[in-house]
Amino acid sequence: MSEKSSLLSPAALWRRLGLARHNWPGRFTVLLATILLLLVSQPIFSGHAFAQIFADAAISLVLLSALYAFRATKTYFTIALILMVPAIGSRFVLQFTSNPTLEMVGAVCSCLFLTVTVFALVSRLFTVKSVTFDIISAAICAYLLIGVAWAYAFAFVELRHPGSFSAALFQRPTGNMAPLLASLHTFVYYSFVCLTTTGFGDILPVSEGARSLSVMEAVFGQLYMAILVARLVGLEIAQSMKEER
């Protein structure tokens, strides 16, 4: 009875949620919250006078939260920091001027930063010994970041070869606002359509580069879900058997 009570104690429940004192407030849960903020704020504030300010703030929070989540991993932290500086800096400069080269640099650095973060998250999932709420958050973060990273890859393809997609949904503003900043939410939308293999058909890849990336994302998304579910189920079974002993 005492053993069961100890498992249901606030401290034990706190640890199972991944929110132990050494890990407070749950680094991957914080990252997940910032990613959801980014995905929700993009369509809500689209067309608003301060839309790009909100978008820049949201993506900056995602990048900073990723650094916070893996701050103890020196290799990741160093690589991510090197990529984060041009990723955030380019977005700030593009608020005042339109420069295709700078846009491509920002898109590439953002894509690489998110890709490195996804690899770090997946590596973490395959090294943990138990399933907690924070670990589940890490799995969700990796999936969502795959979609955002591919959105930047699609943006780079469109910037490098305009007209790579059939739809006229990508904005081409005449003012100072850069096309990438004005249209990122559309790239994110198309990316998740590919990732989930929904296939609405309102945006179609035309160029070879766009088609190849679309197929790769669809395949990667299905493989990730299959492998992830197998990994988490295996961990949960092993954890249950250990507790029964």
| Confidence (pLDDT) at 1 | 47
> Do residues 154 and 108 touch, judged by C-beta distance below 8 A?
no
Is 169 in a helix, a strand, or coil?
coil
This prediction has a pTM of 0.82
pLDDT tens digit string along 174-209? 454 555 666 788 899 999 999 999 888 888 899 999
Look at residue 67 and tell me if it is in a domain: yes
Residue 13 has pLDDT above 80, yes or no: no
| Confidence (pLDDT) at 73 | 83
Tell me the two tokens of residue 231.
Answer: 């990994």
DSSP tag of 23: G
User: Quick one: residue 26, left, alpha or beta (phi over 0 = left, psi -120 to 50 = alpha)?
Assistant: left
Residue 47 has pLDDT above 80, yes or no: no
pLDDT tens digit string along 70-99? 887 888 989 998 999 998 888 888 777 778
Q: For the chain, what percent of residues have pLDDT higher than 70?
A: 78
Buried/exposed 104-135: b ≥16 CB within 10 Å, e otherwise: bbbbbbbbbbbbbbbebbbebbeeeeebbebb
Look at residue 119 and tell me if it is in a domain: yes
| Confidence (pLDDT) at 10 | 56
CA 197 – CA 214 distance, rounded (Å): 10
Tell me the two tokens of residue 125.
Answer: 């999932």
Which residue pairs from 193-196 have beta carbons closer than 8 angstroms and sit at least 24 positions apart in sequence?
Answer: 194/150, 194/218, 194/221, 195/143, 195/146, 195/147, 195/150, 195/220, 195/221, 196/221
Look at residue 30 and tell me if it is in a domain: yes
Look at residue 226 and tell me if it is in a domain: yes
Tell me the two tokens of residue 83.
Answer: 């990529």
Average pLDDT for 6-35: 65
Look at residue 191 and tell me if it is in a domain: yes
Residue 17 has pLDDT above 60, yes or no: no
Alpha carbon dihedral 95, 30, 227, 79, in 10-degree steps, equals: 50
| Confidence (pLDDT) at 220 | 93
Look at residue 10 and tell me if it is in a domain: no
The parent domain of residue 90 ranges over 25-244
Instruction: Report which secondary-structure segment, H or E, holds 15.
Output: helix 10-16
Is 205 in a helix, a strand, or coil?
strand
Q: What is the CATH number of the domain that holds 100?
A: 1.10.287.70
Residue 22 has pLDDT above 50, yes or no: no
Mean pLDDT, the chain, rounded, equals 81
Look at residue 32 and tell me if it is in a domain: yes
Look at residue 7 and tell me if it is in a domain: no
Give the total number of structural domains in the chain. Answer: 1
| Confidence (pLDDT) at 23 | 46
